[in-house]
Structure 1
């Protein structure tokens, strides 16, 4: 009896240790969870991005002016923004992965201590079993010994066997958890290697694009200066912005209307299902009442004839819930442009919005641009390149990309037809469809779009019309 138990315990331990030693090679071949999540996120974002790309092309088709020299910088400035955002995201991923690795190391140490303790307990049980004489049940029953003692010994043997079985099961579970933990550690290490390689690639792209942009700026500097002073060019920039805002407003309203209709259809489907369920319940109740009346009549007749009473009706089945009956209305998967805040929340913050950036105001709403040009529709705030730009309130990103005259541009919908606009950024940190909190970094300041100075161009709009941010934001 001793040897089979010892062999089974040793076998389990040996299998666990062998599993730990050979499973490492399989992990590296598997795609990491990070890679799968990244691919899924990009696929989901593609739908709404197509809509915005078509929208920008539609705006471009309505323009009659020749190509702006700032367009030459567009590709380079977009790549610099993408590389900077990717580097920031990768840094955050590195921190999160390292924290996960620390947690896994702590868990691994705890499991190792538990397994050592369980091995000691198993050894003690086997030793006690050996010292007890290793008598099996058949030998005890045939020994002719005192029945009380035999019963007591049999119970003790049962307790020992149960303890051994539980301990072996627990040890096996912990060994499996160690293996799972080890796979997670290997996966996290592979992810860190992926992140490190992506960081090296993005840094290389960033350095090349910065050098390319600097060279282009040197070639185009005189043309940019002349073009920036042309009133018709500034006017076209403003018209372009107004066209984009109008199109975004229309798109947001279409999505809101589609969502309203979806909710109405869902409510109608639920109401219809509820009515059908109520009608079915009434029909079942009527049929049951008729069946009960018939059973009572037969029971009375049987009692008169001295026959056994008919069997009682079976219990009524439980009513299905209406929510389970209602069929959900299908919705096309898409990134929502619905605001992340309820209507009225932004208007209630008038005069209490935090400044989007720290810097000095170089141009105010309503002032003439270039002395005799069109009026500013927003404010230009001078700030060093790379200074964080923050959202003035909770909302959702409805545009994130390069635009002629405004460079790297981000627009946030705050609900109630209020939009905030942040232009000339070096880097856009948020993507289309992202929900943002008040004060959350969304970009970094720059001089993209052919701007002379580094900083942020900031606008607030309601129902498509620009208004003075000075009475809303605490600059």
Structure 2
């Protein structure tokens, strides 16, 4: 009976291991897909930046220089995001391997005890002359039962030895994987440090380009005209994107039933509120949420990315169509994590908090629109 319990215990451990380690494999696959998506976005940005740099060589244009600087910041920010994602994935693998190692060490201890009992039983059994015992049996039925009994004992012992070998083999594999993952973590952290240095240098270049750009706007009138032009560009960009949209969001439910139920897209306080005076007669059509550079910007509800590009005055902008005439807009990002046409789910990261589009400090510009008109986001978010 003891042998049977040990075999059953071994099978339970095998099933538990299969279920437990299937989840990290699934998570690893999701990380790989997201990394590939970021790489695609990053490649597009790099291509745009190279084209702008070629344009700068031909003609000295302050606005083009500023845009190129912001493209470079976005490219490096995505580099850093990828590196940090790899670090997170590696740390998860290490945690899972540590857990498995701990479980295997417990099994090893138990199996060593079982092995000791097997050796003891084999030693004691060796003192009996089973051949003589079998030859002296007068009852054939009892002889058959005895043979079956010893066969089962032998099978149980073989199964136990196989389990012991499997535990020791897997323990060696886990130890080797832990060493490899820790080496990978050290490499990724070195890459992270390098990415941060490059990003800091790029941000300084962007700041210098921004100062040149701002020096050209000398009066409040010029500033107001610039803001009005920026708003017009945004409206036109959204209209074009809507016309060119490849996917029909008919299956999306809109935002009407989600009033006061949605989370703000990023952490921070509202430094500019909807309807607040901005410049002259111009008022804020959305809100500005202050935040830390590089923090996640999450989509407020399910939708399809309608627009994702750099736009003068708003920097890196993403617009999401939620269906039924509702849209949400996320501007001044450091970098975008999605492309036009991507389906996004509620609270999924779509961008990183930034200061693109000519902002001095990090923050998110956020709008909600219904049938093309801006509405107060505070009616939906809390």
| Same fold? TM cut 0.5 | yes
Name the CA shift for 1:185/1:251 in 2 (closer, same or farther; >3 Å).
Answer: farther
Q: 1:407 aligns with which of 284, 301, 315?
A: 315
Q: Which residue of 2 aligns with 1:210?
A: 203
Shift of 1:344: 3.9
Q: Give deviations 1:85-125, integer Å, cap 9, x for gaps.
A: 55456446544543442332232122223233323323432
Q: 1:379 aligns with which of 262, 286, 300?
A: 286
Q: Which residue of 2 aligns with 1:42?
A: 36
Question: Does structure 1 residue 132 correspond to structure 2 residue 125?
Answer: yes
Question: Does structure 1 residue 173 correspond to structure 2 residue 159?
Answer: no
Which runs of structure 2 are paired with 1:50-449 in the superposition (5 Å)? 69-84=62-77, 86-87=79-80, 90-91=83-84, 93-95=86-88, 97-133=90-126, 139-140=131-132, 144-148=135-139, 154-182=147-175, 184-225=177-218, 229=222, 233-252=226-245, 254-256=246-248, 342-350=251-259, 358-361=269-272, 364=275, 370-371=279-280, 375-376=282-283, 378-379=285-286, 381=288, 383=290, 386=293, 391-425=299-333, 427-428=334-335, 430-432=337-339, 433=342, 435-437=344-346, 442-443=350-351, 445-449=353-357
Using the alignment, how far apart are the partners of 2:227 and 2:62 within structure 1? 13
Shift of 1:230: 5.6
Using the alignment, how far apart are the partners of 1:420 and 1:110 within structure 2? 47
Contact 1:410-1:428 at 8 Å conserved across structures: no
Using the alignment, how far apart are the partners of 1:467 and 1:239 within structure 2? 13
Question: Secondary structure, in 3 states, of the residue corresponding to 2:216?
Answer: helix
Name the CA shift for 1:158/1:443 in 2 (closer, same or farther; >3 Å).
Answer: closer
Contact 2:303-2:322 at 8 Å conserved across structures: yes
Shift of 1:346: 0.6
Using the alignment, how far apart are the partners of 1:144 and 1:446 within structure 2? 89
Contact 1:229-1:370 at 8 Å conserved across structures: no
Contact 2:307-2:317 at 8 Å conserved across structures: yes
Name the CA shift for 1:36/1:456 in 2 (closer, same or farther; >3 Å).
Answer: closer
Contact 2:315-2:358 at 8 Å conserved across structures: yes
Using the alignment, how far apart are the partners of 1:211 and 1:88 within structure 2? 19
Contact 2:288-2:365 at 8 Å conserved across structures: yes
Question: Does structure 1 residue 468 correspond to structure 2 residue 375?
Answer: yes
Contact 1:379-1:457 at 8 Å conserved across structures: yes
Using the alignment, how far apart are the partners of 1:377 and 1:384 within structure 2? 18
Using the alignment, how far apart are the partners of 1:169 and 1:176 within structure 2? 10
Q: Give deviations 1:228-280, integer Å, cap 9, x for gaps.
A: 8266544443332223212321233x322xxxxxxxxxxxxxxxxxxxxxxxx
Using the alignment, how far apart are the partners of 1:93 and 1:127 within structure 2? 50
Mean Cα deviation higher: 171-180 or 207-216: 171-180
With the length of structure 2 as denominator, give the TM-score of the two structures: 0.69
Matched residue count: 337
Name the CA shift for 1:69/1:196 in 2 (closer, same or farther; >3 Å).
Answer: same
Name the CA shift for 1:175/1:88 in 2 (closer, same or farther; >3 Å).
Answer: same
Using the alignment, how far apart are the partners of 1:228 and 1:86 within structure 2? 39
Gaps of 5+ in 2: 1-26, 52-58
Contact 2:332-2:356 at 8 Å conserved across structures: yes
Using the alignment, how far apart are the partners of 1:70 and 1:101 within structure 2? 47
Shift of 1:351: 6.3
Question: Secondary structure, in 3 states, of the residue corresponding to 1:76?
Answer: helix
Using the alignment, how far apart are the partners of 1:67 and 1:380 within structure 2? 35
Name the CA shift for 1:147/1:351 in 2 (closer, same or farther; >3 Å).
Answer: closer
Name the CA shift for 1:76/1:127 in 2 (closer, same or farther; >3 Å).
Answer: same
Task: Give the superposed CA RMSD.
Answer: 4.3
Shift of 1:209: 0.5
Which runs of structure 2 are paired with 1:452-467 in the superposition (5 Å)? 455-463=363-371, 465-467=372-374
Using the alignment, how far apart are the partners of 1:40 and 1:344 within structure 2? 26
